[in-house]
Amino acid sequence: MGRKKTLICMLLAVCLMWTFQPERASADGGSIMVNGVNILQAADRTVPCGAGSAVYDEGTNTLTLRNAEIGGPNHGGSVLIYGIEIQKEGVTVRLEGGNLIDAYLGIWSRNPIVIQGADGGSLAVRVSKNQELSVPCRGISVDYGGLTVRDANIRITMENLDNMSGYGIDICGGDNEIVNSQLEITGPFLGNEDQSVVGINGTGANSLTISNQSHITMPTIGRGADVSGKLTLSDSTMEIGSTYQSGISGGNVEIVNACLTASESSGLALQANEKITIVDSEVNVKSTGTNALLCGNLEVANSSLTANGYWPALFVTQNTVIRDSSVHAESSADVGIFNREGNLEITGSTVNAVSNAGNSGILTKGDLTISDSNIISPGNAGVSAIKATGSFSVTGGTTEIGAGSITAGGTMQIGGAITANGTVSFDNVHAGNGSVIFAGADYGAVDAAIAGAQNLKREDYTNFEIVDAAIGAVIRGKDFREQAVVDGYAEAVRAAVAALVPVSSIPVVEGADQTVEVGEGSGIVIKADWAFDKFLSVLVDGTEIGTDCYTAAAGSTIITLKPEYVNTLSPGNHIIGIRFTDGLAQTTLTLKEKEDSANPPDNQQPEDDSSQPGDSGNSQPESPGDSGNSQPESPGDSGNSQPEPPEDSGSAENPGDSGSSRPEHSGASDNGSNAAPENGQPENASNPPAEPAGPLSQNLLPGQKILDKSPHTGDSAPVGWLLVLMAGSAMGMAAGRKRI
């Protein structure tokens, strides 16, 4: 009702202005009236103003006030209506020295203007009622908005209003800003609902930005600041003392790196139709008659917010986010924090929500999520200190509920400490659907401690079993209510590692760094120079082996690895350790594959020359014609003796072939002996080939091999030679009989 009357009064005022000064409105290019004189028509465009003056510069469209004194009662005893009236567009009012305006309307402009302080220049505006008018008084007024105050020091005082409304600054539209300026606005604290005394009235304004170290104070006022659009307080301070109607109100309110105080209001201390955003700031608001803070959505980040209200101190119709902040919300007659429809999220913050009437400290009609925060929301017995119609989740931090309880309509997930008057208790936690889930304990520190212990080599310590015991004592699956126990596991593992005693390095005096063949069949003997009564065990490649794999004897300490155990080890290098109560002896054992004597490595001579042809008891090479050191069987070879060749050397292919000529067959010798037939038998059994001068392989040309194509029967003499021997024996026996 009061605002409607105010608008009517403003319309009347505009009509009166046009009635009183029609020529000004119709003047080409507009006019600038100073103390009732059109300065555009004055000599030198200068108007004397008390001890000072007002000067207009057409080139810069600037009106400069130099220690000007404008207004006061005119000859009829009434207050001057306009101190300065600007009909011209784009005017800058420059302040030099100390200036004073005493009028019903201090500075009025139809179009956007700039008020610029220069060298500490200031302006004092005294607003009071003109007996001839019945419209609101105004200190600075811009009909179509677009007011800019820069680097200025302005004090506006409203007094003697006689139940008339008054506005310190009145902007009716556009984007407006106050930059690096000091403003003080005071007015009567009146309880008349039909009268408004407003510090900054931005009805219809798109925005008002107060920035760059500006400082706005309103010690007493009916309403502090009221902006229809966005109100931004950035890098500045605003202090509003006692207000009758409201402190700060806007479509959206954004407070960034600033300080805002609305110390006491009968109405809303801080209000936004849509959203209030508080970032890196300090805000203190109080209402003795309603909510301290009311908005559609609230976001508080890295800030401190204190709100004291009669009804819910913080009343948010939709969603609230409190992050990395400190919030104190206290209600004298209702809940501390109330979310009427949306969700409430608190992260990394300290929140004290108090109801002095014994109601809930926190009440949300949606979901409530608390993480890593400290919450104090005490309630009386039988009262929900914290209540969420939706789900409830708490992770980390501590939530104090006094004698009250926590209730939720949906699932409850508990992962933080709940205390009742300082004592941890989860007795008064209730979910409407019966589902209360406790989060698991954090085993991160335990896992890290175990990983560090497992990176150590147990053979390097005499008492690693204490680490095994500490790790073995860890019980998994505990929930966060036993977090202290879980943290104790980690501490126990770390303490065991710290208590490890490194082993002494004990010398191996016999059997160090042995190399043996796989399957050699003998035991491995290692002697350590340490007392036998301190012997504990034997390790192979870091793993303790059974006592059935070795024998241990005194003097100092003699360990013998049994052959059957050694045969189970793979070829390669192995580390053998002998553990004592106070030390460790270590050496290397290398196992290599056993060489096959029938297949010696390429380009190697056999170790035993007994493998030459003619040696008894030695096997023949498996491949006939082998060009190695072994020779193929020679006809007539019996044991180690060669038979004497018959006188007739027989007729071989190529008789008399000398060593310089290459024989046709790869099995022929290179010393000129006869070649053997392809089947390996002599052509004439009565004429065996002559015995070679040396081993056949020694008489081969490079690249030649001996070919032995005779079948291997297991007898060293071919059948042909047996017939010759039998015939010779018969002839000898017959000759003997004749002699007899």
pLDDT on residue 327: 98
Chain segment 7-38, per-residue pLDDT in tens: 434 443 444 344 334 334 334 478 999 999 99
pLDDT on residue 597: 55
Rounded to 5 degrees, φ, ψ at 237 are -130, 150
The string of DSSP letters for 142-154 reads: ETT--EEEES-EE
Q: Alpha helix (H) ranges present in 417-521?
A: 444-454, 465-472, 483-498
Alpha-carbon distance of 614 to 692, in angstroms, equals 12
Q: Are residues 663 and 624 in the same domain?
A: yes
Chain segment 328-349, per-residue pLDDT in tens: 999 999 999 999 999 999 999 9
For 360, the token pair is: 């809930």
Q: Alpha helix (H) ranges present in 128-251?
A: none
Structural domain contains residue 60: yes
Domain span at 720: 610-740
pLDDT on residue 598: 54
Is the CB of residue 679 less than 8 Å from the CB of residue 708?
no
**CB burial readout 424-433, b (16+ within 10 A) else e:** eeeebbebbe
Is the CB of residue 339 less than 8 Å from the CB of residue 366?
yes
Residue 406 sits at the vertex; the CA angle it makes with 405 and 410, to the nearest 5 degrees, is 145
Structural domain contains residue 477: yes
pLDDT at 631 over 50: no
Alpha-carbon distance of 40 to 24, in angstroms, equals 12
* CA-closest candidate to residue 247, choices 225, 215, 217, 274: 225
Alpha-carbon distance of 481 to 417, in angstroms, equals 8
For 607, the token pair is: 């170790």
Task: List the single range of 129-133, 146-150, 177-181, 220-224 with lowest mean pLDDT.
Answer: 129-133
Average pLDDT value for residue range 613-638: 38
pLDDT at 667 over 90: no
* DSSP-derived pairing of the beta strands 69-71 and 557-561: unpaired
pLDDT at 405 over 90: yes
Is the CB of residue 605 less than 8 Å from the CB of residue 629?
yes
* CA-closest candidate to residue 86, choices 69, 62, 117: 62
Q: How confident is the model at residue 457 (pLDDT cuts 50, 70, 90)?
A: confident
Q: How confident is the model at residue 664 (pLDDT cuts 50, 70, 90)?
A: very low
Average pLDDT, the chain: 81
Q: How confident is the model at residue 600 (pLDDT cuts 50, 70, 90)?
A: low
Alpha-carbon distance of 91 to 49, in angstroms, equals 19
Structural domain contains residue 434: no
- List beta partners, residue 115: 93, 149
Alpha-carbon distance of 97 to 113, in angstroms, equals 20
The pTM is what? Answer: 0.68
**CB burial readout 442-477, b (16+ within 10 A) else e:** bbeebeebbeebeeeebbebbbbebbeebbeebeee
Domain boundary, last residue among 366, 382, 400: 366
Q: Are residues 448 and 481 in the same domain?
A: yes
Structural domain contains residue 301: yes
pLDDT on residue 152: 98
- 59: Cβ–Cβ under 8 A, 6 or more apart, which residues? none
Structural domain contains residue 428: no
pLDDT on residue 622: 42
Q: Are residues 621 and 545 in the same domain?
A: no
Structural domain contains residue 271: yes
pLDDT on residue 687: 43
Q: How many CB atoms lie within 10 A of CB 108?
A: 25
Q: What is the DSSP letter of 58?
A: T
Average pLDDT value for residue range 700-722: 37
Average pLDDT value for residue range 573-595: 89
CA dist 668 → 436, 511, 631, 656, 689 (Å) = 100, 53, 13, 13, 12
Q: Are residues 648 and 688 in the same domain?
A: yes
pLDDT on residue 4: 41
Three-class DSSP category at 596: coil
pLDDT at 424 over 80: yes
CA dist 723 → 29, 674, 683 (Å) = 153, 21, 14
Alpha-carbon distance of 526 to 508, in angstroms, equals 7
Structural domain contains residue 474: yes
CA dist 585 → 123, 410, 499, 539 (Å) = 95, 65, 22, 10
Rounded to 5 degrees, φ, ψ at 637 are -70, 120
Domain boundary, last residue among 366, 383, 406: 366
| Residue at 579: amino acid letter | R
pLDDT on residue 145: 82
Gyration radius of the chain over CA positions: 57
Chain segment 542-581, per-residue pLDDT in tens: 899 999 999 999 999 999 999 999 999 999 999 999 988 8
- List beta partners, residue 235: none
| Strand (E) or helix (H) holding 394 | strand 392-402
For 325, the token pair is: 């902040």
Task: List the single range of 215-229, 399-413, 467-481, 656-670 with lowest mean pLDDT.
Answer: 656-670
pLDDT on residue 104: 92
* DSSP-derived pairing of the beta strands 166-171 and 137-142: parallel
In the chain, the percentage of residues whose pLDDT exceeds 90 is: 64
Per DSSP (E only), the strands in 172-325 are 175-179, 182-186, 197-202, 207-211, 215-234, 237-256, 259-265, 270-279, 282-287, 293-295, 297-301, 304-309, 314-316, 320-323
pLDDT on residue 270: 97
How many residues are given for the chain? Answer: 740
In a 13 Å sphere around the CA of 655, the CA atoms on its Cβ side amount to 7
* CA-closest candidate to residue 673, choices 659, 687, 694: 659
Q: How confident is the model at residue 136 (pLDDT cuts 50, 70, 90)?
A: confident
Q: Are residues 619 and 722 in the same domain?
A: yes
* CA-closest candidate to residue 645, choices 583, 599, 693: 693
Domain boundary, last residue among 561, 592, 623: 592
Q: How confident is the model at residue 194 (pLDDT cuts 50, 70, 90)?
A: low
pLDDT at 734 over 60: no
Phi-psi region of 358 (alpha: psi -120 to 50; beta: other; left: phi over 0): left
pLDDT at 355 over 90: yes
pLDDT at 86 over 80: yes
pLDDT on residue 131: 64
Chain segment 472-528, per-residue pLDDT in tens: 999 999 999 999 999 999 999 999 999 998 888 899 999 999 999 887 777 899 999
CATH (domain of 576) = 2.60.40.10
For 593, the token pair is: 């594959």
pLDDT on residue 668: 34
pLDDT at 712 over 80: no
Q: Are residues 302 and 210 in the same domain?
A: yes
For 301, the token pair is: 């980040």
Alpha-carbon distance of 206 to 401, in angstroms, equals 44
pLDDT on residue 546: 96
* CA-closest candidate to residue 30, choices 3, 64, 58: 58
- 140: Cβ–Cβ under 8 A, 6 or more apart, which residues? 106, 107, 115, 125, 147, 154, 156, 168, 169, 170
Rounded to 5 degrees, φ, ψ at 105 are -125, 110
pLDDT at 239 over 50: yes
Q: Are residues 125 and 259 in the same domain?
A: no
* CA-closest candidate to residue 252, choices 268, 233, 270, 273: 273
Structural domain contains residue 375: no
Q: How many CB atoms lie within 10 A of CB 37?
A: 15
Q: Are residues 264 and 323 in the same domain?
A: yes
Task: List the single range of 184-188, 243-247, 330-334, 377-381 with lowest mean pLDDT.
Answer: 243-247
pLDDT at 629 over 70: no
Q: Are residues 9 and 140 in the same domain?
A: yes
Chain segment 641-651, per-residue pLDDT in tens: 344 443 433 33
Task: List the single range of 202-211, 238-247, 400-409, 671-680 with lowest mean pLDDT.
Answer: 671-680
Average pLDDT value for residue range 111-132: 91
For 602, the token pair is: 């390429």
pLDDT on residue 29: 73
- List beta partners, residue 584: 505, 579
CA 288 to mean position of chain CA atoms: 45
Alpha-carbon distance of 210 to 212, in angstroms, equals 7
Domain total of the chain: 5
Dihedral of alpha carbons 87, 90, 96, 100, sign: positive
In a 13 Å sphere around the CA of 413, the CA atoms on its Cβ side amount to 13
CA 651 to mean position of chain CA atoms: 98
Is the CB of residue 209 less than 8 Å from the CB of residue 216?
no
Q: Are residues 548 and 647 in the same domain?
A: no
Q: Are residues 535 and 638 in the same domain?
A: no
Q: How many CB atoms lie within 10 A of CB 511?
A: 18
End-to-end CA distance of the chain: 173
Q: Are residues 296 and 326 in the same domain?
A: yes
679 vs 260, more confident = 260
Residue 506 sits at the vertex; the CA angle it makes with 503 and 508, to the nearest 5 degrees, is 145
Residue 430 sits at the vertex; the CA angle it makes with 426 and 435, to the nearest 5 degrees, is 105
